[in-house]
A = this chain, B = another copy of it.
């Protein structure tokens, strides 16, 4: 299932462990973004000995390696999901409604950004906050 990831890890001098595999499987099965707490909760059914510290370290590690994506949501908490979906979120700060953002559209905006500032903006997974059309009527 994650043979490609395992091979990439080894090439980079890192190891695959039951804990890392489990976190990947949980995120894969969920098919949506999860909080560290949700992930920790799920690990306990399979690997009861696994600790929260390991969950956090594993999530940081897998994010650095590019296998999963981290995104800020609402309160400032981080959520994680399997990389490769490449979609973005637009969250209404009033009602909480979320909408997916077209990747192509965002890319075109960032291209303008780059030509102006020289910076290449991270666009793997971005979350915007604003007011949705309904809530603008207040």
Contact = CB atoms under 8 A, between A and B. Distances in A.
Given A76-B76, A76-B78, A90 B119 contact: yes
A125 to B, nearest CB: 11
Interface stretch (A9-17, A36-44, A46-54, A128-136): A128-136
Please give me the 6 A-B residue pairs with the lowest Cβ-Cβ distance, nearest first.
A121-B130, A118-B133, A119-B130, A120-B131, A122-B129, A122-B130
A122 B119 CA distance: 21
Given A109-B113, A118-B133, 7 more contacts: A92-B119, A99-B119, A119-B128, A119-B133, A120-B136, A121-B130, A122-B131
Contacts of A72: 72, 76
